[in-house]
Structure 1
Amino acid sequence: MESNAELSDPGMAVKMNYKCFPSIKNLAEGKRANEDEILDLVAFVNARHDCADFRVLSCLKAMYEYPDLISLSTKKAIKSALLGFKYWLDEPGIDGMCFWSENHQIIFHTAEYLAGHLFPDDSFSNDNITGLQHQEKARPKILRWLGQRFQYGFIEWHSNTYYEEDIAALAMLIDYAPEMNIRIQATMIMDLLMLDMAMHQFEGYFVATSGRCYEKQKKDPRNADVNDILKCAFGILDHEYDYSRISTLVLLCKHYVLPPVIRKIALAKGTFVIKESMGMDVKEATKKIFPADFDHLGMYLWQMEAFTNPESIEMTMAIFNEWKLTHNNFLKDLKMINRPFLLKSGCLPFLVSVLNPATAGVAIQRANTYTYRTPHYLLSSVQHYHPGKFGDQQHIWQVTLPGGINLFSTHPGRPMFQDPARNFSPSYWVGNGINPECTQEKNIVLLIYDLTKRRGFLEQKRLNLVHFYCPFDQMDEVSISGRLVVVRKQNTYVAIMSDKEAEKKEDEILYRGRILRFAIILGDQEHDGSYADFCQSQTLKRFKATGKKVSYAGEKRLTLRYNNGFFIDKQRISTDYPRYDTPFISADREPSQLEIHYEKDVLTHYFSRFERKRG
């Protein structure tokens, strides 16, 4: 593979397209497939482009499940690709792949494990070890990944893009892992992903604050990557399945049956408050993940994409040099600090603190999420998520209205790099240039954006504005009056109050300034009367903003002080949540067991005992 030393990135549109082959549906029906589609995946795998690992899973599905329906020549091509693939960062060869994010790690480990099991006695040409050795190499990594999800939740929290990838890998383990303990634990983690989507669904869509979310999916839940899974699991959505998606591996999974309790939670009527803790902050991870070697701490930090934080930079550079990653499209700019005197001096953490690189915001850190799910709307946010720090793809808050209408706000960012591998976030609608302070209580979100924080290395020109996505042409009524915006969709209402004047521009509302404060209030006809009644009740007299403080007076007075607490009627409210605090499941962080319940249905996970019990 040394001939690929000048590998270029094909761009997101290519990488995220056709991760499976559409005519796999024919194979599932006992018919022949269009094998040119399979060979296209094989070519992508052989090129070692980013997201090749997704295609490897689809090739493995074909080989495990449908070998008798595939021609000998195509099977030989698949086998050659699997034997020649690079399954991990420490293997030789040039590539353009991202191995390390939360979803990629479980996909690579699953691919290596199942490819090794499929060809145990063959020599894999990239590193000249046998399939059995590859299987044994991947096994502890899979178990570690599964265990960390059970204890700490998902780093890429509530992601309506990357949950699709996680679930696809788990489906392959559930169907084909030779070890029952791996199958059982993979099934439990699959349950937790399905539960997360069940708790945060509105009108069948998975809509919530998120650790990683892109523009199309933020603006319209119909574009979410998990929609085929949601339709299959909960039966609410009504669309044709897309068999070119990697979620096809879930649709065709034979050994996972959604527990009835999770389906009932998805379909439950009523109003629910759902609080969760997902992941860890970088500092916490360095204290809790042992041993502090590449495979344990190093790869957890890289799942978080915490490359250039003061707490992680020394580990990053050690891995970068030991595994010879100077060619990698995503990591190549680490060469600028890869100087022997810096590495030996121990001053890298201090240097990073001084430079204040915008890349530190790429790290996806602990999320305490709050969701208010009602029959009329779903409002969701992450509490106190590193306000004033740089952002990347984190989606801080959103509300979903009837008819699949999303509203949210961002501080528009600009990508730190311009190459195709890294030029898509943060951007005008993806993530934030600077994260806001954010808290929520039921139907109300309070926000403070402080754009005065010191500039950072690699930060592009900072915009002194905040904007809201609001598709006005899809609203039934709109009222904009100075600092107050009120909209109606069917029988649901949204009021946006600010200390700055609102500017309407196509499908957005702009607010200009360096310190901006907001209250977002949701209402509905059942509780608030008519739209006219709601407009009359939501006056700016309820809203107060001074300095770095914002308050809203409803039934109770909510007050948010920037980096200094959230208060309800002057009582400080903790935004440090347990693993689960919901009507359906409650658990502290780092649980040993989890119990999911609704009405008379119960599902219990005893993770370390490899026991999944219903009733």
Structure 2
Amino acid sequence: LSRGGKFGFSISNILARKATGRITAKDRELFLETLSQIEKRFDCSDFLVCGLVRYLKNYELDDELKNRVKEVLLNYRYWMDQEGSDAMCFWSENHSLMFYVSAMNAGEFYPEEYFTRAHMTGRQLWEAGKKRVEQWLDDVEERGFEEFLSTVYMCVTFAGLLNVIDYTPKEISDRAVKVTDRLLEMLALHTYKGSVIAPMGRVYRQVIYPFLQGAQALMNLIDPDVPYSYGEGWLAFYATSRYEIPEGLKKLMRDPVLTEYNTGNAVIRLEKNEAYCITSVQSPRKDTDYDRWVNLTLLEERQNVDKTSHAYTKSLNERFHGTTCFEPGVYGYQQHMWSCALDSETQIFANHPGGTCDSSQMRPGYWYGNGVMPAVRQEKGILGAVYQIPKEHPIHFTHVYWPGVKFDQNKVEDHWLFGKKGNGYIGMWCSKKLQPYQDQVFNCEYRSYGDEIAYCVFCGDQKEYNTMEAFIENCKKRTPVYADGELIQISFNSKKLYHRLYGDSMELDESDKKCDIFIGI
């Protein structure tokens, strides 16, 4: 597995070859290289430690390798408050779990030995790791995943959970099974005609190719008929795990659904049917009983906080990876806010990029994440988004990913994009003129320049609209307008409804209240 082209990680490949009986002459050399990478504490070496633990639990080593493994594990740095300095990321949802469970497992291997950087015996290290694993599970059980639906990081978390399931006491293992079930259920729920179509807590560029995302490895495991990806090799962990995929996931992947649920600090809405799929994070969220968790790093200068707790780890993560709250106008990171799709390949979305070109290495990137998060509201068949970009931000445009070649029919006008695929339609309106732009992906991008930009997306079914022309006519009759710097106005049945961006007050007469639906941004 390439880590940026300069070096690679081999542990998943070694595990896979061992499990399938395809061991090569080079595997011992790669195993020793893995130990060296752990010893040097490469970033993401916690991935390697988790793989090493799985190897040790399933296969025998000769004396030379046993001694080398012991040397490496006794001197590893299992948490940021332990001795040493390096560039390892400890605090994200997936990394923290892997460090926690690795501390437990390493401590169990050598209970009476002294771990030099932890300044603990193995038994003490096991206890410290156990406390944090339990707190990690407490948090996800109560609040859901922070890196929700991430087609990259949910795979890593899946592998970490498998180590918890297989190599911790039963009371912890049983809890991890339920959390893993929930992880797969969420991804299955958001699988549309074979690909994961979802808003995400953390996302990368492969979002533009949903059928190639890492989580497709997990979805293909559930249903071999859906597109497959390598998924960074995490299924090598599953090959020797006792975890059983829960029943009913295929049905979740295929059945229509109209639902709303909470995970982390996000309210997710999902509508999928035979014609189309719309899904998004609601921004701002409107539920009045919402209780946001407290970031302890904002309190530590005024009061004592428990820096050994997972709550503190989670707080550090928010400081490093950007806010986990979804509110209009807040600077973003790798949050993917919304998507609409007509099949596993024909997906559209807009974002405010963090760089000016597709080759940007920024986070947020060109196609993934948002420099500034939008207001988003989704109702049945409709999604609206408003982007308000501060003058001090260097990027003053948003852009749409619109793979026109994927549609059966595709029509472009100044403010409108229309597409048909199968028996579904998408119409997108933008308050600014949409200008085609070519970068690394040709004929798939439309930019809209300015500091205040609004989008409305309308989806439809061929059962309701016999022709593309009929669907286009219906969309245009709704005459969307972005007004007064804070309003989206849409006409329904010749009536117009308004909803202020930052307020709940709305004056409607009785005739207005008879309208089918309104969108609040």
- Give the TM-score taking structure 2 as reference length: 0.83
Q: 2:50 aligns with which of 44, 54, 57?
A: 57
Separation (CA, whole Å) in 2 of partners of 1:173 and 1:557 = 54
Does structure 1 retain, via aligned residues, the 8 Å contact 2:3–2:9?
no
The amino acid that maps onto 2:199 is T
2:12 matched to 1:21? yes
The amino acid that maps onto 1:492 is G
Does structure 2 retain, via aligned residues, the 8 Å contact 1:388–1:434?
yes
1:88 is aligned to 79
Does structure 2 retain, via aligned residues, the 8 Å contact 1:519–1:543?
yes
Separation (CA, whole Å) in 2 of partners of 1:137 and 1:15 = 34
Shift in CA distance, 498/209, structure 1 to aligned 2, threshold 3 Å: same
Residues 71-220 of structure 1: pairs in structure 2 closer than 5 A:
71-177=62-168, 179-216=169-206, 218-220=207-209
Q: 2:252 aligns with which of 242, 265, 273?
A: 265
Separation (CA, whole Å) in 2 of partners of 1:487 and 1:238 = 23
1:504 is aligned to 436
- Alpha-carbon deviation of 1:523? 1.8
Does structure 2 retain, via aligned residues, the 8 Å contact 1:401–1:489?
yes
Q: 1:255 aligns with which of 221, 238, 242?
A: 242
2:263 is aligned to 278
2:319 matched to 1:306? yes
| Residue aligned with 1:212, SS | coil
- Alpha-carbon deviation of 1:143? 0.4
Separation (CA, whole Å) in 1 of partners of 2:373 and 2:488 = 16
| Residue aligned with 2:472, SS | helix
Does structure 2 retain, via aligned residues, the 8 Å contact 1:219–1:469?
yes
Does structure 2 retain, via aligned residues, the 8 Å contact 1:477–1:489?
yes
Does structure 2 retain, via aligned residues, the 8 Å contact 1:21–1:37?
no
1:474 is aligned to 406
Shift in CA distance, 235/500, structure 1 to aligned 2, threshold 3 Å: same
The amino acid that maps onto 1:275 is E
Root-mean-square deviation (CA, aligned residues, Å) is 3.1
- Alpha-carbon deviation of 1:423? 5.0
Shift in CA distance, 470/49, structure 1 to aligned 2, threshold 3 Å: same
2:328 matched to 1:405? no
Shift in CA distance, 205/92, structure 1 to aligned 2, threshold 3 Å: same
Q: 1:36 aligns with which of 2, 25, 29?
A: 29
Does structure 2 retain, via aligned residues, the 8 Å contact 1:465–1:512?
yes
Q: Deviations over 1:106-162 (max 9, x none)?
A: 010011111111222222232342221111110010000001101101111221111
- Alpha-carbon deviation of 1:238? 4.7
Does structure 1 retain, via aligned residues, the 8 Å contact 2:222–2:250?
yes
What are the ranges of 5 or more consecutive residues in structure 1 without an aligned counterpart? 1-9, 308-360, 366-384, 416-421, 456-460, 576-615
Shift in CA distance, 131/287, structure 1 to aligned 2, threshold 3 Å: closer
Q: Deviations over 1:440-484 (max 9, x none)?
A: 002211111112x363xxxxx522211101122333222112211
| Residue aligned with 2:12, SS | coil
The amino acid that maps onto 1:479 is K
Shift in CA distance, 234/46, structure 1 to aligned 2, threshold 3 Å: same
Percent identity between the aligned chains? Answer: 24
2:385 matched to 1:447? yes
2:473 matched to 1:536? yes
Does structure 2 retain, via aligned residues, the 8 Å contact 1:175–1:253?
no
The amino acid that maps onto 1:299 is T
Separation (CA, whole Å) in 1 of partners of 2:7 and 2:384 = 35
2:367 matched to 1:429? yes
Does structure 2 retain, via aligned residues, the 8 Å contact 1:22–1:37?
no
Separation (CA, whole Å) in 2 of partners of 1:531 and 1:76 = 69
Separation (CA, whole Å) in 2 of partners of 1:240 and 1:464 = 35
Shift in CA distance, 247/560, structure 1 to aligned 2, threshold 3 Å: farther
Separation (CA, whole Å) in 2 of partners of 1:74 and 1:139 = 27
Separation (CA, whole Å) in 2 of partners of 1:566 and 1:402 = 37
Shift in CA distance, 507/573, structure 1 to aligned 2, threshold 3 Å: closer
- Alpha-carbon deviation of 1:560? 4.6
What are the ranges of 5 or more consecutive residues in structure 2 without an aligned counterpart? 267-289, 438-442
| Residue aligned with 1:295, SS | coil
2:235 matched to 1:227? no
1:362 is aligned to 322
The amino acid that maps onto 1:442 is K
Shift in CA distance, 241/388, structure 1 to aligned 2, threshold 3 Å: closer
Q: 1:561 aligns with which of 489, 500, 504?
A: 500
Does structure 1 retain, via aligned residues, the 8 Å contact 2:212–2:228?
no
Separation (CA, whole Å) in 2 of partners of 1:134 and 1:233 = 36
Separation (CA, whole Å) in 2 of partners of 1:294 and 1:560 = 43
| Residue aligned with 1:552, SS | strand
Q: Name which of structure 1's ranges 137-146 and 221-230 shifts more when overlaid on structure 2.
A: 221-230
Separation (CA, whole Å) in 2 of partners of 1:295 and 1:107 = 16
| Residue aligned with 2:134, SS | helix
**How many residue pairs were aligned?**
473
- Give the TM-score taking structure 1 as reference length: 0.71
Shift in CA distance, 89/162, structure 1 to aligned 2, threshold 3 Å: same
Shift in CA distance, 16/113, structure 1 to aligned 2, threshold 3 Å: farther
- Alpha-carbon deviation of 1:253? 4.2
Separation (CA, whole Å) in 1 of partners of 2:11 and 2:380 = 40
Shift in CA distance, 18/191, structure 1 to aligned 2, threshold 3 Å: same
The amino acid that maps onto 1:495 is G
- Alpha-carbon deviation of 1:408? 0.9
Q: 1:513 aligns with which of 450, 458, 480?
A: 450
Q: Deviations over 1:182-216 (max 9, x none)?
A: 11111111111011112111123222011110112
The amino acid that maps onto 1:511 is S
Shift in CA distance, 245/498, structure 1 to aligned 2, threshold 3 Å: same
- Alpha-carbon deviation of 1:565? 4.3
Shift in CA distance, 214/239, structure 1 to aligned 2, threshold 3 Å: closer
The amino acid that maps onto 2:262 is S
